[in-house]
Amino acid sequence: MKFVETVQLTWLRRSAKALAALLVLWTLAWLIVPPVLQSQLETRLGARLGREVGVGGVDFKPWSLELTIHDLVIAQAEHRRPQLSIKRIYIDVEAQSLLRLAPVIDALEVDTPALHLRHQGAGRYDIDDLVARFKPDPNAPTADPLRFALYNLVLIKGAMTLDDAPQGKVHELMDLTIRLPFLSNIASERQVKVQPQLAFKINGSSFDSGAVGTPFADVHQSVANFSLKQLDLAPYLGYWPASLPLKLNAAVLDTELKLSFEQAEKTSVRLSGQVSASQVQLSAPGDKTNAPMLAFEKLGVQLADVRPLERSVQLGQIDWVKPKLQVQRNALGALNWQTLFSPQQVTTKNTKLVATSAGTESAKDQNDAKFPPWRVDVAQVLVHGADVHWLDQSTPKPAQLALQGLDLSAQALQWPIGRAVPFEGQGQLEGNTLSFKGQASDQAAELNAQVKRLPLSLAAPYLAQQFTPELNGLLSVDLALNWENATSKAPMRLTLRLPKLTLDKLALTENATKPAPSAKAERLASIQQLQLSGGEIDLIGQTAQLGEVQVKEAKATLARHADGRWMFQDWQKNPAPPADSPAKPWAVALKQLKLSGSQVAFADASPARPVALVVDELSLQIKDLATTGASPFSWSLAARLRHGESEPGQLSAQGSTALSPLAVKTQLVAKDLPLLALEPYAGDALKVRLVHGQAGFSGRVDLANAPQGWATQLDGDVLVQDLRADTLPSAEQPAEELLSWRELALTGLNLALKPGEAPKIHVAQTALSDFFAKLTLTEAGRLNLQDVKPGSQDTSNKIATSADGESAKATNDQYAGAVPIITFGPMSMTRGRVDFTDRFIKPNYSARLTELTGTLGGFSSQPVNGAVQLADLSLRGRAEGTATLEVAGKVNPLAKPLALDITGRVRELELAPLSPYAARYAGYGIERGKLSVDIGYKVLPDGQLNADHNIVLNQLKFGDAVPGAQNSLPVKLAVALLADSQGVIDINLPVSGSLNDPQFRLAPLIFKVLGNLLMKAITAPFSLLASALGGGGDELSMVAFEPGSATLGPEAQAQLDKVAKALTARPALKMTVTGTASLALEADAFRREQLNALLLAEKRNRLPKGTENPTAVTEAERTDLLKAVYKRADFTKPRNLIGLAKDLPAPEMEALLLANLAASELAMQALAVQRGVVVRDYLASLKLPLSRLFLGAAKAVAPEAKWRPRAELSLASD
């Protein structure tokens, strides 16, 4: 018992001590807190506000945690008059605040607050300094939401006075009463003692929201209704704060709201109803014109269920009627909406936007179930008749764009985004229909859009910043844009699909430099229609898959200036600097391209004479083109090439091209291409002027690029027609025709160029027809063709730019040092003409070769089996219209040294035109005469030249000596000695030498031999007469006969013809003919000739009288005639049993007859005589007098191995 009493006494003492301590603590708090709090409010709050703060008194009841502040006054910044005064502030704090570590307030009463505001004009107020002080720091970390529970909030007898000094008005808000049952974001069950209410008087007009409560229901609910009808804000626009980013110029408000307070297991504040603003106009704060940046007829928002304390917003339908948005960019590139915010605000907003769009929240917000993230749901958004106007003043010419009548709808919007939001819309983009439809979320988006005939001129101001030409046209496109956000398994994707894209009336123009109004736009290029059917572009992966592209009626101008710059090099205004590293190339694949009805006008002013060429009726097809693939794509091309008024040429090609490595295979057909159009590119390379000409080609052209260089293969036929080239005119000499032909055909041309290998050229056949060449020996003794040679390097530089020159040099270096392998097949030429003029001789001499026709066989620069291949040459023509010209033999102009074996012949060339040469070199002019020449040239493989010249002069007559001539030769004496009775001189001049000898010259040797001949005619005239027999050899001194025969054969007759001709020409000569025969060598042949004579006699005897005597016996007649001769022959014949001559076979009869025919020395002597007679009679038959023909004593010769039957001729003079 005593122990219990002791314990109780202990607890009593401890309780008493605790109570005493609590009483002491309450007493101290009751005494200390009021003065300390009053002092802190006046000093620290004043310092924080930058204003004077006064407090009338503070009461604090620590036992009930009730705090009352009396007479709180905050002074104005410039005056000591009160800015804000509050008669009493009562706060009842619950002890739960200590346990929850959050304020839990059971009651908050504000009694008689009075706020005095002064409007200073231009949207500025006397509290702007406070707004600036409490402006949140954009760089401060995001603070956690404040946890609180506020119940029984009451504000009574509130007042606010607004002194509008600029307008001289005062607005008063009186009797402001606000009652809120609670505001709490934490669970706390407190007794609600007030009903929601909002009541006030403004400028004498009263407003009271009223309240409805359900205190006896299971769920205690209080509801306050707020309604505004057509509240025009025009009277209050002057008080719009200037610090806000937009200035409100007009607005009318309508509200129908319901505020609900529910107290159950969990308290809730709900807001619902309708809020709308109409006739709204917003402008930039500094814009004195008040031009609206945003205006709309009405914006209505249906609040379905808004729970701010639970961070939940559910909206019904949002209707935005006829919004008009003005978006502008100034000359510095800043957007008008962007400049409304400070850079810090823009950065902060952008940062938050990026963070929010990525769907991130702070880890604490995500994990703290007490504070879930905000959630917004919108059932539907409707935009009706929106207008968006874009003005960009950063471009040289301001850009404008208008999207009008935009209707937009979107359903089931959420934040955070949980599912894709479907949307669709339609509007007028610069008067053209734009429609779109799709869906979007934070992970994926899909947009399908369609626009019709959109002018490309809308983009002209932006293109003008980089390019001088202007682009015009109409764009119609169906597109689909798909976006997928990056995931841990796949990167981000952005794909553009183009089911159909059409560009109509596309034109690229450049304004003329002429002053207005005569300035006209020069059209650089145009396309009647470009259409793409099917395409997909990966904008991130940089790939493009294009379907079929059709280009119709494209026209373009391609020009190069006199300085060598292409026209498009001047288009770019600000060329981008070269990148440090090459950008990733796009991978493009094109299924098909069709170009039709197109034209390209080409002009080049860089050569000395401008080039103008038009390519029209151009069509092009490309299939399966891929920029990254190694497989080739196929293509075909057709076009016409026009130059001036000439007939257009035709060009068609088809083939395939591989891009990596680059390789082109082409089947090309070209007809009548105008060479005159490209002639200026030759410049001074050839000193001729091309007057006209067309070229054609049919065949294959292959190009391939390898690491070692380019490889070229060309196979086909080349045709150059109607070509004419004139000499260049000068002050002394006008232009004259130099070269022309009707047709030059190279059939089977094969050209092969491979790096590291010798170039190969092969021509199967060459044909030249109706050609003309003008050869002139100038006053300086120089042939005009010597001046037609390659020009200087400067000329080459004019033909191509320096880059092209380097490329050409690199290409030539690939084959440098390699000797080309050239092979030509047969060549032919017909109807040629060559005019020769010698101005070196005074007076001038002219000659003409006409009707030149000939052939040349195949030849090559490479030996065949170690031997030089010679081609057969044949050429015929006429000289000066009377003399005939023939050249024949073999030649290889490509061989080194030159290989040839040719003969030439000229007949009946009139010598009178050559009088200038005779006067210069012989000292006598030519009055008359004709020349016939036979020449022969042969060059052996070792370079040895053998040349024969046979010259026949007929009726040559020299005139008087030319006074003061350079030379004076005894030509008249030489003619008297060399000429025959008919006035004919026949001269043979053989010349030989080595082409390898640098001192060897053919022409001086010929003149030397002629000089020796003339001197020989003087010193030894009789030795020259031996050559009168046609060459002077033993061949003409002997007439050959067949063994046993005295009949002249064709060759013998031809030989005697020459002898007769020589004798006829020289009447002083006499001829002796001596026949020869040999019994030992001709016996058998003599008997056979006798048998043939018997057979022929038998045949003649059988013919009727008057019949022409036959000259030969046929094989069919021979057996019958042989029997008759055999029967009459008188010699012993084989007999049969009855004694009659046997019938023998023809060979046996012939053998018996030959054996019984006589062959004696006497017979041979007679045969020799007969041969001499036959020769004499044949010469006599050629009208040689018998008085000049004699028979020598016939002789029989002894057997000799080299002897042949013949008649010997010998000459003698009178």
DSSP tag of 235: G
Least confident of 930-944, 1016-1030, 1043-1057: 1016-1030
Q: How remote is the C-alpha of 858 from its chain's centroid?
A: 40
Going 704 to 708 to 710 to 714, the CA torsion angle's sign is: negative
The interaxial angle of helices 1079-1102 and 1161-1181, nearest 10 deg, is 70
Per-residue model confidence as pLDDT tens digits over 290-299 = 788 889 998 9
Q: How many helices (H) and strands (E) does the chain have?
A: 19, 50
For the ranges 659-673, 680-694, 1121-1135, the maximum mean pLDDT occurs at 659-673
Contact 962, 916 (CB under 8 A): no
Q: How far is CA 916 from CA 844, 913, 956, in A?
A: 8, 7, 15
Contact 875, 887 (CB under 8 A): yes
Phi/psi at 917 (5° precision): -70, -45
Q: What percent of the chain clears pLDDT 70, i.e. is strictly above it? A: 74
d(CA 178, CA 193): 14
The pLDDT assigned to 816 comes to 52
More confident residue, 508 or 900: 508
Q: Name the β-bridge partners of 144.
A: none
344, containing H or E segment: helix 343-357
* Residue written as token pair 């949307």: 423
- Over range 497-525, report the average pLDDT: 73
Average pLDDT, the chain: 76
Q: Name the β-bridge partners of 201.
A: 174, 206
The pLDDT assigned to 1010 comes to 53
Q: What percent of the chain clears pLDDT 90, i.e. is strictly above it? A: 10
d(CA 615, CA 835): 38
Contact 164, 139 (CB under 8 A): no
More confident residue, 433 or 124: 433
More confident residue, 624 or 1138: 624
The pLDDT assigned to 1194 comes to 80
The pLDDT assigned to 1033 comes to 47
Per-residue model confidence as pLDDT tens digits over 662-681 = 889 999 999 988 888 877 87
d(CA 989, CA 1006): 7
The pLDDT assigned to 8 comes to 65
* Phi-psi sector, 509: left (phi>0), alpha (psi -120 to 50), beta: beta
For the ranges 450-464, 501-515, 540-554, 912-926, the maximum mean pLDDT occurs at 540-554
d(CA 384, CA 404): 10
* pTM, full prediction: 0.63
Contact 663, 657 (CB under 8 A): yes
Exposure of 1068 by Cβ count < 10 A (0-12 exposed, 13-18 middle, 19+ buried)?
A: exposed
More confident residue, 192 or 593: 593
Grade residue 585 by pLDDT with cuts at 50, 70 and 90.
confident
> Strand, helix or coil at 683?
coil
The pLDDT assigned to 260 comes to 74
- Over range 845-863, report the average pLDDT: 82
Residue at 440: amino acid letter: A
The pLDDT assigned to 635 comes to 92
Least confident of 309-323, 347-361, 1053-1067, 1135-1149: 347-361
The pLDDT assigned to 966 comes to 65
Residues 6+ apart with CB under 8 A from 368: none
Closest alpha carbon to 995 in 1084, 900, 1073, 930: 900
**1004 has a pLDDT exceeding 60:** no
The pLDDT assigned to 33 comes to 73
Q: How far is CA 242 from CA 81, 238, 246, 1033, 1118, in A?
A: 24, 10, 8, 133, 147
Q: Per CATH, which fold does 1029-1102+1111-1213 belong to?
A: 60s Ribosomal Protein L30; Chain: A; (3.30.1330)
Residue at 121: amino acid letter: G
d(CA 827, CA 872): 10
For residues 91-123, b (16+ Cβ closer than 10 Å) or e, as one string?
bbbbebbeebebbbbbbbbbbebbbbbbbeeeb
Q: Name the β-bridge partners of 708.
A: none
**216 has a pLDDT exceeding 50:** no
Closest alpha carbon to 950 in 980, 906, 886: 906
Per-residue model confidence as pLDDT tens digits over 238-281 = 767 777 788 888 888 888 887 776 655 566 678 888 999 898 88
Cβ neighbour number for residue 793 with a 10 Å cutoff: 8
Q: How far is CA 576 from CA 466, 510, 569, in A?
A: 10, 22, 13
Grade residue 97 by pLDDT with cuts at 50, 70 and 90.
low
Q: How many CA atoms lie within 13 A of 905 on its CB side?
A: 8
Q: Name the β-bridge partners of 935.
A: 904, 949
For the ranges 72-86, 634-648, 928-942, the maximum mean pLDDT occurs at 634-648
Q: How far is CA 787 from CA 519, 739, 833, in A?
A: 48, 14, 21
Per-residue model confidence as pLDDT tens digits over 784-801 = 766 666 543 343 343 334
What tokens appear for 1151 in the block? 């053998």
Grade residue 974 by pLDDT with cuts at 50, 70 and 90.
low
The pLDDT assigned to 138 comes to 64
d(CA 442, CA 48): 43
**491 has a pLDDT exceeding 80:** yes
Contact 1044, 1078 (CB under 8 A): no
What tokens appear for 439 in the block? 């869906």
Q: Is the peptide bond before 416 cis (omega within 30 degrees of 0)?
A: yes
* Residue written as token pair 């009483």: 23
**830 has a pLDDT exceeding 50:** yes
Q: Name the β-bridge partners of 991.
A: 947
The pLDDT assigned to 1068 comes to 54
**213 has a pLDDT exceeding 60:** no
Q: How far is CA 537 from CA 483, 530, 587, in A?
A: 12, 18, 10
Quickly list DSSP for 723-758: EEEEEPP-SSS---EEEEEEEEEEEEEEEEE-TTS-
Per-residue model confidence as pLDDT tens digits over 150-205 = 778 888 888 888 777 776 777 788 888 887 776 665 655 555 555 676 777 776 66
At residue 442's C-alpha, the angle toward residues 436 and 448, to 5°, is 15
Per-residue model confidence as pLDDT tens digits over 1049-1105 = 888 888 788 778 767 776 656 778 888 888 877 777 778 877 777 777 777 777 777
Longest dimension (CA), the chain: 210
What tokens appear for 193 in the block? 């003692």
The residue ranges of every structural domain in the chain are 76-134+145-208, 211-346+371-416, 911-1019, 1029-1102+1111-1213
Radius of gyration of the chain (CA): 62
Going 1014 to 1020 to 1022 to 1023, the CA torsion angle's sign is: negative
More confident residue, 110 or 921: 110
d(CA 776, CA 730): 15
More confident residue, 1103 or 530: 530
The interaxial angle of helices 1079-1102 and 1146-1156, nearest 10 deg, is 120
- N-to-C CA span, the chain: 207
d(CA 616, CA 595): 12
The pLDDT assigned to 95 comes to 66
Grade residue 51 by pLDDT with cuts at 50, 70 and 90.
confident
More confident residue, 10 or 657: 657
More confident residue, 1069 or 1204: 1204
Quickly list DSSP for 864-917: BTTBPPPEEEEEEEEETTTEEEEEEEEEETTSSS-EEEEEEEEEEEESGGGHHH
Cβ neighbour number for residue 1073 with a 10 Å cutoff: 25
The pLDDT assigned to 319 comes to 92
The pLDDT assigned to 365 comes to 43
The pLDDT assigned to 765 comes to 92
d(CA 288, CA 280): 18
Closest alpha carbon to 695 in 712, 717, 714: 717
Helices in 400-492 by DSSP H: which ranges?
460-463
- Over range 84-93, report the average pLDDT: 86
**330 has a pLDDT exceeding 70:** yes
Least confident of 225-229, 433-437, 647-651, 852-856: 225-229
> Strand, helix or coil at 1087?
helix
* Residue written as token pair 């030397």: 1008
Phi/psi at 912 (5° precision): -60, -40
**471 has a pLDDT exceeding 90:** no
Q: How many CA atoms lie within 13 A of 990 on its CB side?
A: 4
Name all contacts of 413-418 with Cβ < 8 Å and 24+ positions apart: 413/376, 413/377, 413/378, 413/381, 414/375, 414/376, 414/377, 414/378, 415/374, 415/375, 415/376, 415/377, 416/359, 416/373, 416/375, 416/442, 417/359, 417/441, 417/442
> Strand, helix or coil at 1064?
helix
Residues in the chain: 1214
The pLDDT assigned to 1000 comes to 44
More confident residue, 604 or 795: 604
- Over range 910-914, report the average pLDDT: 71
- Over range 969-993, report the average pLDDT: 63
What tokens appear for 187 in the block? 């669970």
d(CA 6, CA 11): 9
Q: Name the β-bridge partners of 538.
A: 495, 543
The pLDDT assigned to 1119 comes to 73
**218 has a pLDDT exceeding 60:** no
SS (H, E, C) 749-769: EEEEECCCCCCEEEEEEEEEE
- Over range 1176-1203, report the average pLDDT: 83
> Strand, helix or coil at 372?
coil
d(CA 788, CA 799): 18
- Over range 953-964, report the average pLDDT: 72
Residues 6+ apart with CB under 8 A from 574: 465, 466
d(CA 923, CA 967): 5
